[in-house]
Amino acid sequence: MVRVKFRFENPSIEEQVVEGYFKGESILDITEDADIHLNHNCGAVCACSTCHVYIEKGEDHLKEISDREEDFIDRATNPRIESRLGCQCIILDEEAEIEVIIPDQSGIIGHEH
């Protein structure tokens, strides 16, 4: 079973842990299913940076970052070395433990679940 811990830069949002059989699903898919706010404007096709997240733990359980994803991360607000796009973080291991920080979404105009 996959375990994903979501923490938030916005201190008013409490951390959430989601567990399930998520192999082959993206971090964005999991946020949608768990009713966790994560903007996504392009329909999960790696054409924007609104689903930008930080992977704090478990990067090795995710699909490798592509050149295209790196290009869009450069356009995100406050990119860091652990930045990824939630729509591109596909879980590869059914026993993964992943920790994600969701940046403050208040300044992003975009679609949410």
> Over the stretch 73-110, which tens digit does the pLDDT of each residue have?
999 999 999 999 999 999 999 999 999 999 998 766 55
Is 89 in contact with 55 (CB distance < 8 Å)? yes
Give the chain's domains with CATH numbers: 2-102 (3.10.20.30)
How many whole angstroms separate alpha carbon 63 and alpha carbon 76?
20
Say what the pTM is: 0.92
pLDDT at position 113 over 50 = no
pLDDT at position 112 over 70 = no
Predicted pLDDT at 12: 93
Q: Which residues pair with 20 in a beta bridge?
A: 2
| E strand map for the chain | 2-8, 16-20, 52-57, 83-85, 97-102
Q: Determine the residue type at 16.
A: Q
